[in-house]
């Protein structure tokens, strides 16, 4: 079985069906035997789920020890009833685990505006805490329990060494629709047994999220519940990393970014109704931020998404989207490549290479498409990922609650 959260020292997990959803698992619990340093990034949506409000308070001291996540109900726009429900989630898990309530991270995902089933969740927590396990099945069940419209579980694991100490890091995520850069409709929970200073951990997570979860797009909508949280319990007993110059920091940062990118790509590849995964590379831009804006604009273009779904080699839509990003560059000096592992050039210094259209038409049948836009005006670069938009996406979301 593939390694997962339970392969991180001190981490126990479980996932169960408690009755929020008709048949699927809908409660996940992740517990660290030792309190750890925590960092988090949250949605930028003005409307916030009650779980986000509680969790923001709980991570303010930089410490945490457990996660409890329900799916099937977003606990958003639920008022005082929902607030008490989120608090009861944290309070109940803390009591069952004999830890501080403030060390519990609370998350919810599902339909907005439905009364929160507090009694069901509280009883579910009490019933399932005794089932927490180090066995791999616990991590896999937790990954499945946070799913909503996802069609498959999203897990990742990396290992590396720092000063002779083996470090384990693993994560789970959910997301399929309402995905857009700025924390999208997605949840991700990462555990690591490294020892690292909390302020540095927060900085590193934010940078990793900006390169991964904030560079994916399915449909341009950002939700109310989104968070990425990492808990590092220090049980690897490595010499504590305190600064970016410490030995091992660059390795940790690189591995965290790769894990986040892995989970982010799983999310976008599972876009509701999607048939293709698309990668957009922007290179030689004025700077990295300019490249990011252009890549994000192209990846979120409905015209680009629909063209790729239709296998239409209409590369003009990519150029139009790039020009709408608000970045100043020379439109007479760009190169454009599109394809699969092997790409064909469609613009050479802004001149069409029309003889490559037949090759591109064949490549558009693939399940994974790559786009490379070279602006030839600097050293900035960025990568973004998205999927196509299909009729199935419209059908699914037209009847989401019915």
Could you report the per-residue pLDDT of 392-401, keeping only the tens digit for each?
A: 777 766 765 6
- pLDDT at res. 182: 57
Q: pLDDT confidence of 208, banded at 50, 70, 90?
A: very high
For range 375-398, the mean pLDDT? 85
- pLDDT at res. 168: 98
Q: Between helices 198-211 and 249-269, what is the axis angle to 10°? A: 40
For range 82-102, the mean pLDDT? 98
DSSP 115: P
**How does the average pLDDT of the chain come out, rounded?**
92
Domains of the chain: 5-269 (3.60.70.12), 277-398 (3.10.20.340)
CA 397 to chain centre: 21
Residues β-bridged to residue 343:
339
Supply 362's token pair: 């064949």
Residue 143 burial class via C-beta count within 10 angstroms: exposed 0-12, middle 13-18, buried 19 and up: buried
The number of CA neighbours under 13 Å toward the Cβ of 33 is 13
How many CB atoms sit inside 10 A of residue 349's CB? 11
- pLDDT at res. 392: 76
What is d(CA 65, CA 224) in angstroms, rounded to the nearest whole number? 24
What is d(CA 402, CA 385) in angstroms, rounded to the nearest whole number? 30
CA 90 to chain centre: 23
The radius of gyration computed from the CA coordinates of the chain, to the nearest angstrom, equals 22
What is d(CA 75, CA 88) in angstroms, rounded to the nearest whole number? 13
- pLDDT at res. 180: 52
The SS3 call for residue 165 is strand
The SS3 call for residue 139 is helix
Q: pTM for this one? A: 0.88
What is d(CA 4, CA 136) in angstroms, rounded to the nearest whole number? 7
- pLDDT at res. 217: 77
Residues β-bridged to residue 370:
279, 339
User: Which of 390, 394, 362, 395 lies closest to 275, judged by CA?
Assistant: 390
Q: Does position 181 have pLDDT exceeding 60, yes or no? A: no
- pLDDT at res. 201: 98
Q: pLDDT confidence of 111, banded at 50, 70, 90?
A: confident
- pLDDT at res. 149: 81
User: Which of 240, 188, 167 lies closest to 10, judged by CA?
Assistant: 167
- pLDDT at res. 226: 86
What is d(CA 31, CA 16) in angstroms, rounded to the nearest whole number? 15
Supply 305's token pair: 């998404």
- Where in the sequence numbering do the catalytic residues fall? 185
For range 315-325, the mean pLDDT? 94
The number of CA neighbours under 13 Å toward the Cβ of 291 is 24
User: Which of 138, 68, 59, 80 lies closest to 109, judged by CA?
Assistant: 68
Residue 246 burial class via C-beta count within 10 angstroms: exposed 0-12, middle 13-18, buried 19 and up: middle
- pLDDT at res. 225: 78
For range 207-218, the mean pLDDT? 88
What is d(CA 231, CA 238) in angstroms, rounded to the nearest whole number? 16
Q: Between helices 118-128 and 79-97, what is the axis angle to 10°? A: 10
Q: pLDDT confidence of 275, banded at 50, 70, 90?
A: confident
Q: Does position 10 have pLDDT exceeding 90, yes or no? A: yes
Q: CA-CA distances (angstroms) from residue 71 to 7, 121, 147, 204?
A: 24, 10, 7, 28
Q: Does position 27 have pLDDT exceeding 80, yes or no? A: yes
């Amino acid at each position: 079985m593939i390694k997962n959260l339970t392969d991180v020292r001190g981490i126990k997990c479980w996932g169960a069906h408690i009755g929020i959803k008709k048949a699927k698992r809908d409660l996940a619990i992740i517990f660290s035997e030792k309190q750890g340093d925590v960092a988090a990034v949250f949605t930028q949506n003005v409307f916030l789920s009650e779980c986000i409000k509680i969790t923001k308070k709980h991570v303010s001291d930089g410490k945490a020890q457990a996660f409890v996540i329900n799916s099937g109900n977003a606990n958003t726009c639920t008022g005082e009833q929902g607030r008490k429900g989120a608090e009861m989630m944290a309070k109940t898990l803390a009591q069952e685990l004999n830890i501080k309530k403030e060390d519990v991270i609370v998350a919810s995902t599902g339909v907005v505006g439905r009364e929160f089933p507090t009694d069901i969740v509280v009883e579910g927590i009490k019933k399932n805490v005794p089932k927490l396990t180090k066995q791999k099945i616990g991590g896999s069940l937790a990954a499945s329990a946070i799913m909503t419209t996802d069609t498959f579980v999203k897990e990742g694991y990396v290992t590396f060494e720092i000063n002779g100490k083996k470090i384990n890091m693993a994560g789970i995520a959910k997301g399929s629709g309402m995905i857009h850069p700025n924390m999208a409709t997605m949840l991700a929970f990462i555990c690591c047994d490294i020892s690292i200073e909390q302020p540095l951990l927060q900085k590193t997570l934010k940078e990793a999220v900006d390169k991964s979860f904030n560079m994916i797009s399915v449909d341009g909508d950002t939700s109310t519940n989104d968070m990425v949280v990492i808990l590092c319990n220090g049980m690897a007993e490595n010499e504590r990393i305190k600064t970016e110059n410490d030995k091992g920091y660059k390795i940790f940062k690189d591995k965290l970014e790769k894990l986040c990118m892995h989970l982010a790509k799983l999310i976008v590849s599972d876009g509701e109704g999607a048939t293709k995964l698309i990668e957009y590379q922007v290179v030689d831009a004025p700077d990295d931020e300019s490249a990011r804006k252009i890549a994000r604009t192209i990846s979120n273009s409905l015209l680009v998404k629909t063209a790729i779904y239709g296998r239409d080699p209409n590369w003009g839509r990519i150029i139009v989207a790039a020009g709408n990003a608000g970045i100043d560059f020379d439109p007479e000096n760009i190169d454009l490549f599109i394809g699969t592992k092997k790409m064909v050039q469609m613009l050479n210094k802004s001149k069409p290479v029309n003889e490559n259209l037949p090759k591109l038409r064949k490549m558009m049948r693939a399940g994974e498409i790559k786009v490379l836009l070279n602006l030839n005006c600097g050293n900035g670069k960025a990568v973004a990922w998205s999927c196509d938009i299909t009729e199935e996406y419209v059908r699914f979301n037209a009847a989401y609650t019915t």
